[in-house]
Copies of this chain bind each other. A is one copy, B any other.
Amino acid sequence: MVEHDAEREAGRAFLPKFDSAGLLVAVAQDADSGEVLMIAFMDQEALEATRRTGFAHFHSRSRGRLWKKGESSGHVLAVEAILVDCDQDALVLKVRPAGPACHTGARSCFYRALDGESLIRIES
């Protein structure tokens, strides 16, 4: 267990660590601007689909199924690079978005900031 953890941190082996629900967190970050566009979850299937196709796929917890980001809107995310964290339970996808990443039409899902007790819009 401990050896596996050390290997996960220091080694060259990709050993993704899924949680008890079979998921890990994936952050899509604009490869050019560095803006965080969205956060979603991946299971093994979504990770494999992402690696195979070069487009971001996630696992919908609410719908309980694989989804390709942009499958209906066309606003896909082309994956330029996949970064892996120390314990390999989180990924950063460096992406080039084909359109707004958020289903609301915003460039990023993070279009609001906390200001005291309420939210203010930071992206028009």
Within 8 A of B (CB), among A2-30: 9-14, 19, 25, 27, 29
Q: CA separation between A102 and B13, bound complex, in Å?
A: 19
Q: CA separation between A13 and B51, bound complex, in Å?
A: 38
Q: CA separation between A38 and B92, bound complex, in Å?
A: 10
- Which residues of chain B are near A110, meaning CB under 8 Å? 83-85, 90, 92
Q: CA separation between A117 and B90, bound complex, in Å?
A: 17
Point out the residue from B39, B51, B114 that lies within 8 Å of A90, measured CB to CB. B39
Chain A contact residues, CB within 8 Å of chain B: 9-14, 19, 25, 27, 29, 33-36, 38-39, 51, 61, 81-86, 90, 92, 102-104, 106, 109-114, 117-120, 122
